[in-house]
Structure 1
Amino acid sequence: MTGTIHNKDRFLKNISQNLSRPMPRQVTKPAWQFRPQDKTLADLSQDELVEVMKQHSIAIHTDIIETRSTEVNEVLARVIATYGGGEIIAWNDPRFDELNIDLKKYDTFIWDEAKGAENIEVAERANIGITFSDVTLAESATVVLYADKGKGRSVSLLPATYIAIIPKSTIVPRFTQAAEQIDQRNNDSDFPTCINLITGPSNSADIEMKLVVGVHGPIKATYIIVEDY
């Protein structure tokens, strides 16, 4: 959906006058002669990128499990059992059906935008949230999530634990490649309503530089990488 900006010039003029600055000029995107960010990890194969992810997952206290599409249900069942089962909330995502993932065998609530605030209430009390990763950054073991209808942000943020299903083909070296993909989608009608970058369970080291996990979100996270070539 393309939005319309109203009163842009008047708004900027008011700010400029209060700051005693001239109106901003049109910004032209620079063409950089050197782009080292494009080359970092770019020569690695998909399997090598997975190994980079594994190394970084240790630092962010996140488990990584590799599996085939034919075995993903068994792997998912083990992770859910490890997390104690209970109520689950998941995206309304066609990729579950594409991988023949059966969520009906669990106490699963599928995000439904028609249910409004009920979605958030379920996410708050759910033990497990499950989403797919849309782009995955090997350099930092980060999943990039495109929120939209049926794919609420709360699924990955509010439950006690979190599971990200990662199609292996979504793994890229670093945010450079993710930003390029996002830029390419900028004019698409299905551009996400929000883009979240999640690097393992929630944690903070703001107080006395001591790392505390699970301050404001999932206390545990597992990435399930699925071979999808």
Structure 2
Amino acid sequence: MTAGTIHNKEQFLNRITSQLGRDRNRQVGLPEWQHRPQLDVFSGASVNELAAAFKKNSLEKSTFVVNTDKANLAEALQEVIMKYGGGQVVASKDARFGEFGLDAVLDNEKTHIWDTNRGQENIEIAKKANIGLFISDAALAESGTIVQFNDKDIARSISLLPTVYVAIVPKSTIVPRMTQVVQAVHQSVEEGNNLATCINFISGPSNSADIEMNIVIGVHGPVEAVHVIVEDL
């Protein structure tokens, strides 16, 4: 992106400070907060305690939860696909599927792996798919939320358009709350890494209580959601 040119910046800022009756601040630093309660949530919790809280809060949002390990993940995933009716599956193009031993599960005519070379066709397939499958990048114990860092191969359509989304959640990626994810993103940017094109925080199936405070499931996205927690430590 070409950098733009700012005109009359100094005159503009000087006029505002003059109207406010104070001097211009030339340096701005982060304040030192006396209290930071956001860091106290699940402070000192073990991995197992975080996983238990994540499961509890997922279930409270009508999300089906499966616990398994890497050795039994393929079987557990096939059972989930059958439980929700099978049919067309659309999955992200993610090398971690291979690391989890899932290539054989995805190698069939009913599974479409996202392919940027096929452009809009990917979205049309996702619209008709019964199941969207991807691996979450982080998960929040406090709210039963999964985090998806999107790019050209890990498209947000996979979690938005199919009837059911199935997220594989590595147990090691479960953190207390959004605070830790935002801190990690901030650190990554400071290290010069590229930021994801979109970061989705997804808390169970789509729902809305806009009309007379009655919750309706599946208004803006998937009707069902599944979190497959995998013991990967």
TM-score (norm 2): 0.88
Q: Superposition RMSD on alpha carbons, in Å?
A: 2.3
Q: 1:210 aligns with which of 207, 214, 221?
A: 214
Name the structure 1 match of 2:132. Answer: 129
* Unaligned residue ranges in structure 1 (runs of 5+): none
Find the aligned partners of 2:72 and 2:3 in 1 and give their Cα distance: 48
Give the Cα separation in 1 of the matches to 2:179 and 2:186: 11
Offset of residue 185 of structure 1: 1.5
> How far does residue 4 in structure 1 lie from its aligned partner after superposition?
5.1
Alpha-carbon spacing, 1:10–1:107, altered in 2? closer, same or farther (3 Å): farther
Match of 2:123 among 116, 120, 123: 120
| Corresponding position of 2:32 | 31
2-structure distance, mates of 1:211, 1:197: 20
Distance 1:130 1:75 in 2: 13
Give 1:192's aligned residue: 196
2:222 is the alignment partner of 1:224: no
Matched residues in 2 for 1:117 and 1:51: separation? Answer: 39
Pick aligned residue for 1:180 from 183, 192, 203? 183
Give the C-alpha shift of residue 59 in structure 1.
1.9
Alignment match, 2:67 = 66
Q: Which runs of 5+ in 2 are unaligned?
A: 19-23
**In structure 1, C-alpha distance between the alignment counterparts of 2:170 and 2:229, rounded to whole Å:** 6
Deviations 1:159-205 (A, max 9, x none): 01000000000000001111111111224444211100000100001
**Residue equivalent to 1:149:** 152
- How many correspondences in the alignment? 223
Match of 1:140 in 2: 143
3-state DSSP class of the match of 1:166?
Answer: strand
Task: Please identify, of 111-120 and 21-30, the stretch whose mean Cα deviation from structure 2 is larger.
Answer: 21-30
Distance 1:190 1:93, change over 3 A: farther
Which one has a bigger Cα radius of gyration?
A: 2
The 10-residue stretch of structure 1 (50-59 or 27-36) with the greater mean CA deviation from structure 2: 27-36
* Structure 1 match to 2:21: none
Partner SS state of residue 189, structure 2: coil
